[in-house]
Amino acid sequence: MKIGDLNINNPILLAPMAGVTDYPFRILCKEMGAAIVYSEFVSADGIIRENSKTLDLIRFEDEERPIGVQIFGGDANIMRDAARYVADAFKPDIIDINYGCPVPKVTKKGAGSAALQDLCLMDDITAAVVEAVPEIPVTVKMRAGWNNDSIVVPEVGKRLEEIGVQAITLHPRTTKQRYTGKAEWKYIRQLKESCSIPIIGNGDVCTTNDMLQMFEDTGCDAVMIGRAAQGNPWFFRKAIAVLNGKPMPDPPSLLDIANTCKRHFELLLENRGEHTGSNMMRKHFSNYIKGFPGAAKFRQSLVTAPDLNAMNDALSEFILAAENTDHDLISS
């Protein structure tokens, strides 16, 4: 697959996820084979104001390439200026426009999936970004529509392709669905049949079997993995083997999981500082530590640890237990 002039070595991508896809998580997934990783979605307003917390979300290392930076906003001029700023200051491989976020605090400002209610605004924003960064492929991540009565696929696909978008990721839920109900993969197929640019499917891919089914049902060019990768960066390694007809890699042992927790934690502390890093790691511990005897006890002690020292002690206890246990856990 190619996105613009960018060669993609496999069709399994890591989805941008707010509060999740920071550098520590991205690098773990990249090492396991994710073909493209994305930043958390970043406010165009924050970018042009040069807000330090906003800019910190964009920073990446060359070892993460190819990487996309995802931006959101409801004003074409601000989105244009933000895209140009990102291109000049960070030089990502892709700039992705978020037309998919359904969270009210975003949509009330006309950003995210709110653009699905005003396709002329979507055209204006998209054209402004494409024109601002001619040297970088611009892609879009979107939902199927605002609600079931206003599905915009495949009309939007044709419009975005004509404007110059190089690939589209579709999460085929509506804004009103948020993250509930079923992702209607039929809309991915409709989008694929209406466009000649790469179409990336996203939504309800929990296992490698789901991934294979999405490829078969929709004809999409790539699959973007979100929640299935949380606590399970090994998903990418298994997915690539399945796609290529290679022998199945051994599932991670309990010690693999414990050591990955430790590395993830260390990266977060280095990247985000002790206070923020330890607080952010609590949700990751919840995702990693499950599905084996005694998991609840270890998870509880790590998630509720009152300070960094207590968290390190609890993690050491988990690693010690893992060294003395032989469990293969990840089966999908």
What is residue 328's DSSP assignment?
A: B
**Cβ neighbours for 88, distance < 8 A, ≥ 6 positions apart:** none
**Contact, 199 vs 221, CB < 8 A?**
yes
Known catalytic residue: 220? no
Dist CA 125 CA 146 (whole Å): 18
Which of 29, 101, 195, 220 does the annotation list as catalytic?
Answer: 101
Instruction: Tell me the two tokens of residue 65.
Output: 């390439």
For 109, counting Cβ atoms within 10 Å of its Cβ (0-12 exposed, 13-18 middle, 19+ buried), the class is: middle
DSSP string, 113-158: GGGGG-HHHHHHHHHHHHHH-TTS-EEEEEEEESSTT-B-TTHHHH
**Cβ neighbours for 111, distance < 8 A, ≥ 6 positions apart:** 72, 73, 74, 98, 101
DSSP string, 60-103: --GGG-SEEEEEE-S-HHHHHHHHHHHHHHH--SEEEEEE----
Dist CA 98 CA 122 (whole Å): 11
Dist CA 205 CA 321 (whole Å): 32
Residue 216: CB atoms within 10 Å: 10
Beta strands per DSSP E along 182-281: 199-202, 222-225
> Looking at the annotation, which residues are catalytic?
101
